[in-house]
Amino acid sequence: MNREALVSSAARLTPPSVEAVQEYAAHVPVLAALLDDAMLAHPNLEQLVGSGNMAMMQNNHRNHFRYMASVMAVYDPASFAETVVWVVRTYRAHGFSLAYWPVMLEQALQAMQRTLRPATAAQVAPFYEWLASQLEGIAHVAAAPTAWETASPMPPVCGEAS
């Protein structure tokens, strides 16, 4: 999997209706609280998020639902793909296991099914299903050096000595 394939895959997602996004956004606090409760009850939580990362996980849940509401409202597949790559890379650097995301995504889907109208949940679910199905590819792209890490030094500006 490479970045281009990830973006191409994300481009096949259909954004939810304005009404569905508004309903989802209105329920962000409830969804985050339900996800926190489910994850805090997980028997292997420390293995999933790393030692001392419970507050970071809960902050991630709030930010996750806020971000998803904004990304679905103004959907750009390239921005979505790049952001999830960044999220996986960043949180793994803080000690989160790759195994965290399938558990979190499933619990988020369950929270949405309990909270949102069925029609809204059905419109939002494909984004979560995409994240779960693309996780290995996302992790592969996240593990690769970024363009900034592999770029050669900037050439001298015109007129500057090299």
Taking the domains of the chain in order of start, what are their residue ranges?
Answer: 3-145
Q: Which of these ranges, 32-41, 85-94, 142-151, has the smallest mean pLDDT? A: 142-151
Q: Is the pLDDT of residue 154 over 70?
A: no
Are residues 11 and 77 in contact, defined by beta-carbon separation less than 8 angstroms?
yes
| Assigned architecture for domain 3-145 | Orthogonal Bundle (1.10)
Q: Which residues contact 159 (CB under 8 A, 6 or more apart)?
A: none
Q: Is the pLDDT of residue 119 over 90?
A: yes
User: How far, in Å, CA of 162 to CA of 145, rounded?
Assistant: 27
Band the pLDDT of 82: cuts 50, 70, 90. Answer: very high
Band the pLDDT of 1: cuts 50, 70, 90. Answer: confident
Q: b/e string for 41-53 if b means 16 or more Cβ within 10 A?
A: eeeebeebbbeeb
Of 107, 69, 80, whose CA–CA distance to 10 is shortest? Answer: 80
Distance from the Cα of residue 15 to its chain's centroid: 15
Helix (H) / strand (E) containing 153: none
The residue behind tokens 């805090």 is 40
Global pTM? Answer: 0.87
Q: Which residues contact 51 (CB under 8 A, 6 or more apart)?
A: 95
Are residues 124 and 65 in contact, defined by beta-carbon separation less than 8 angstroms?
no
Q: What percent of the chain has pLDDT over 70?
A: 90
